[in-house]
């Protein structure tokens, strides 16, 4: 099993105490977002968790707790962009705090296990294509010795994103503009010896040196584990997504970063209520078990292929 921690909220930033407590306890609960009264119990034993994929914009709170994960393989998807607080209001200063945090994490666990994400790319009067190229190169220059890969994507105008970004003047980017800015980013990435990939993009950028990437990446996980995986494409993700199947442990409407492009927060009142109900000792990320809830054990197992191949 691959554990996704998390596409729905920034657990390393805001809920690392809860996650480490769950690791020590050996299980956690996750509500079904489509049916709130259905709760899955997830086994977290090292025998079934092949790899943990962390998604974060600031893992500073997690770094000193990594010793508690010594029995697990894991890597980080670290989003680091050039946006100001009008877009990412609750994140610390990029130059003074987040870039040093990225370097510190990389030095602790290895640059192959910290993926830089510059996404999503959105265009407005303030955040022009030229702005993105300058920001991208500055960050690439800083991180070149601390990561192997950068992932880019362009903003998707979900209804939730439109609501959160209202008044910011964000406009739809054309295919021609995507090709132009992605091509120049590919040149910058090459200059700093970084592999550049896209996340869940339909547009084909192969001719300008950018491949379709996978955030939950079978090849990377196999490299880190030193063995093959028996894993299928995640059917619950978008058509353009190359991720393999995983178990998501996060909860919508719980992230405190307040990013205006976010699709995982879509009700400010619910975010407030959920955060108030956070209990680091609970098996649920936020909220409490009620008499109407039904808890079932989710069947999970290791995906490691331990058979010897004579072709390797």
**Is 57 within a domain?**
yes
Residue 172: pLDDT band (50, 70, 90) is: confident
The mean pLDDT value for 261-276 works out to: 91
**Is 221 within a domain?**
yes
Which pLDDT score, from 0 to 100, does residue 263 have?
87
Q: Flag whether pLDDT at 311 surpasses 70.
A: no
Q: Flag whether pLDDT at 164 surpasses 80.
A: no
**Is 253 within a domain?**
yes
Whether the CA torsion 58, 261, 235, 178 is positive or negative: it is negative
**Is 94 within a domain?**
yes
CA separation, residue 148 to residues 120, 121, 153 (Å) = 19, 20, 17
Percent of the chain whose predicted confidence (pLDDT) is above 90: 80
Which pLDDT score, from 0 to 100, does residue 222 have?
97
Burial class (CB in 10 A: 0-12, 13-18, 19+), 124: middle
Residue 119 contacts residue 199 (beta carbons within 8 Å): yes
Domain count across the chain:
1
Show the DSSP H helices in 3-143 as ranges: 11-14, 16-25, 60-63, 99-109, 129-143
Q: Flag whether pLDDT at 123 surpasses 70.
A: yes
**Is 311 within a domain?**
no
The pTM of the full predicted model, rounded to 2 decimals, is 0.94
Which pLDDT score, from 0 to 100, does residue 213 have?
87
Residue 310: pLDDT band (50, 70, 90) is: very low
User: By residue range, what is the domain housing residue 265?
Assistant: 2-305
Burial class (CB in 10 A: 0-12, 13-18, 19+), 287: buried
Counted residue by residue, the chain has a size of 312
Q: Flag whether pLDDT at 307 surpasses 80.
A: no
Q: Flag whether pLDDT at 308 surpasses 60.
A: no
* pLDDT tens digit sequence for 95-112: 999 999 999 999 999 999
Phi-psi region of 166 (alpha: psi -120 to 50; beta: other; left: phi over 0): beta
| Separation CA 55–CA 75 (nearest Å) | 9
* pLDDT tens digit sequence for 22-51: 999 999 999 999 998 999 999 999 999 999
Percent of the chain whose predicted confidence (pLDDT) is above 70: 95
Q: Please, what is the average pLDDT of the chain?
A: 93
Residue 142: pLDDT band (50, 70, 90) is: very high
Q: Give the SS3 label for residue 248.
A: strand
**Is 310 within a domain?**
no
The mean pLDDT value for 140-161 works out to: 88
Which pLDDT score, from 0 to 100, does residue 161 have?
66
**Is 312 within a domain?**
no
**Is 109 within a domain?**
yes
Selected residue with higher pLDDT from 270 and 310: 270
Which residues, at least 6 apart from 232, have a Cβ–Cβ distance to it below 8 Å? 244, 245
Assign residue 194 the CATH number of its domain: 3.20.20
């Amino acid at each position: 099993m691959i554990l996704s921690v998390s596409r729905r909220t920034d657990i390393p930033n805001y809920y690392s105490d809860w996650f480490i407590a769950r690791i020590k306890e050996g299980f956690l609960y996750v509500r079904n977002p489509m049916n709130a009264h259905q709760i899955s119990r997830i086994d977290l034993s090292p025998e079934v968790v092949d790899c943990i994929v962390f998604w974060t914009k600031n893992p500073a709170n997690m770094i000193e707790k990594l010793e508690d994960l010594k029995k697990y393989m894991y890597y980080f998807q670290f989003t680091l962009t050039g946006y100001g607080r009008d877009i990412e209001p609750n994140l610390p200063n990029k130059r003074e705090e987040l870039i040093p945090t990225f370097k510190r994490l990389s030095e602790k666990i290895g640059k192959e296990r910290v993926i830089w994400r510059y996404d999503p790319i959105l265009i407005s009067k303030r955040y022009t294509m030229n702005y993105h190229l300058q920001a991208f190169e500055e960050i690439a220059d800083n991180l070149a010795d601390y990561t192997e890969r950068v992932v880019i994507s362009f903003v998707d105008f979900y209804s939730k994103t439109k609501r959160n970004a209202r008044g910011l003047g964000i406009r739809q980017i054309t295919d021609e503009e995507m090709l132009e800015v992605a091509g120049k980013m590919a040149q910058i990435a090459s200059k700093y010896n970084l592999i550049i990939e896209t996340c869940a993009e339909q547009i084909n950028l192969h001719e300008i040196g950018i491949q379709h990437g996978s955030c939950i990446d079978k090849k990377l996980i196999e490299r880190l584990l030193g063995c093959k995986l028996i894993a299928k494409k995640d059917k619950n993700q978008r058509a353009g997504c190359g991720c393999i199947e995983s178990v998501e442990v996060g909860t919508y409407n719980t992230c405190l970063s307040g990013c205006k492009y976010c699709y995982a927060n879509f009700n400010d009142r619910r975010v407030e209520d959920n955060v108030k109900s956070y209990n680091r000792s609970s098996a649920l990320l936020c909220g409490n078990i009620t008499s109407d809830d039904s808890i079932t054990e989710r069947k999970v197992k290791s995906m490691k292929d331990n058979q010897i191949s004579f072709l390797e």
